[in-house]
Amino acid sequence: MKNFRNVFLYLLIVFPVSVSVSVADSDDFQEKLAQIELPAGFRIHLFAVGVENARQLALGDKGTVFAGSRKAGKVHAVVDRDGDDVADRVYLLAENLEMPSGIEFQSGSLYVGALDRILRFDGIESRLEQPPQAEVVSSEFPDKTHHGWKYLRFGPDGLLYVPVGAPCNLCEEPGFAQIRRIRSDGEGMEVFAEGVRNSVGLAFHPDSKELWFTDNGRDMMGDDMPGDELNHAPRAGLHFGYPYCHQGDTLDPEFGDGKTCADFTPPGLTLGAHVAALGLTFYTGKMFPPGYRNQLFIAQHGSWNRSEKAGYNLLLVRFDEQGRVSGSEVFASGWLQGQENWGRPNDVLQMPDGSLLISDDQAGVIYRITYTEP
């Protein structure tokens, strides 16, 4: 039965649909964007609309912006042909996939993480009108949907890093709560890190080339426990605590008996509880002031189980000259108004000119943040 699904579900590629995009007609969103608060000199505008359930973003060699999705089951390509920094066309590359949230681009090919497999679309930027059939890179991932959506990132070693989330809120399940890595051809899969409940964001430091990743903490321990984590994995083989220890200093009331948090790798930074820290990127561009270089931007998707909502913003994590975390601050906010959210930041992508793109899976749009010296 699984082989049948492999052919007729995961490789179902439909004729692409291209949609002309005009953000000038999006008056309602222009009003919403006025609610976004940014530091002096920074501006935000709509880069693309009609990108249903936009999740992880990836940039092609020819400037195409690709967007995965989770609930929509679709993969989109966004193009700005006239170079005015506003997308003028959105292509539907694939649909009827199972949670194709994670995407990555390398050597002309688009990689898509769809639940229990990694797919690859070769030569995709020259074939947006008629995408090629997807090749299966690997089908060796679990098929559990709970925390089964992916985030993909090629590392400096040329390997593709892929999180495998826990299939539950809290459980001890072999083969889950990991970050794995594989070769681009799907061979040589190995476990890189363990004790990772649900990571939906991976980034490598531009200087040290070491992995940093977000991890969403367990639910049902109250409004303020435990905090989400920003973790640092300078080498393979580390265990980050789940399900035994949370936020580096709190034993789990069910699975913590007989354990000590000192046996696990603590987070580089503890974030707010339930803020759902997801996609992240180190800033290496030149558009923003020099103080932002090599600093980390994190999209905080926002809580679902707090009595008062938290998150729904873009967080800036500061690093010192030695590459150590020195603090954090909210960089962009306003998607949450009172207790009503009209958007949910999901991923951060740096563009060649130094601007940042932010995906929003609730609003189905992509924003662009720029800087002009005041």
- Specify the pLDDT at position 26: 61
Of the pLDDT bands very low, low, confident and very high (cuts 50, 70, 90), residue 305 is confident
pLDDT tens column, 26-57: 677 788 899 999 999 999 999 999 999 999 99
The conformational region for residue 237 under phi > 0 = left, psi -120 to 50 = alpha, else beta, is left
- Specify the pLDDT at position 257: 96
- Specify the pLDDT at position 23: 46
Cβ neighbors of 73 (< 8 A, separation 6 or more) are 95, 96, 97, 98, 99, 100
Whether the pLDDT of residue 199 is over 70: the answer is yes
pLDDT tens column, 316-367: 999 999 999 999 999 999 999 999 999 999 999 999 999 999 999 999 999 9
Q: Which residue has the higher pLDDT, 305 or 248?
A: 248
pLDDT tens column, 232-288: 999 999 999 999 999 999 999 999 999 999 999 999 999 999 999 999 999 999 999
Of the pLDDT bands very low, low, confident and very high (cuts 50, 70, 90), residue 16 is very low
CATH number of 2-371: 2.120.10.30
Q: What is the pTM of this model?
A: 0.93
The number of helices, as runs of H, and strands, as runs of E, in the chain is 2, 30
- Specify the pLDDT at position 27: 73
Q: Which residue has the higher pLDDT, 18 or 215?
A: 215
Percent of the chain with pLDDT over 90: 90
Single out the residue of 293, 305, 302, 362 nearest to residue 330, CA to CA.
Answer: 302
Whether the pLDDT of residue 12 is over 50: the answer is no
pLDDT tens column, 61-74: 999 999 999 999 99
- Specify the pLDDT at position 374: 85
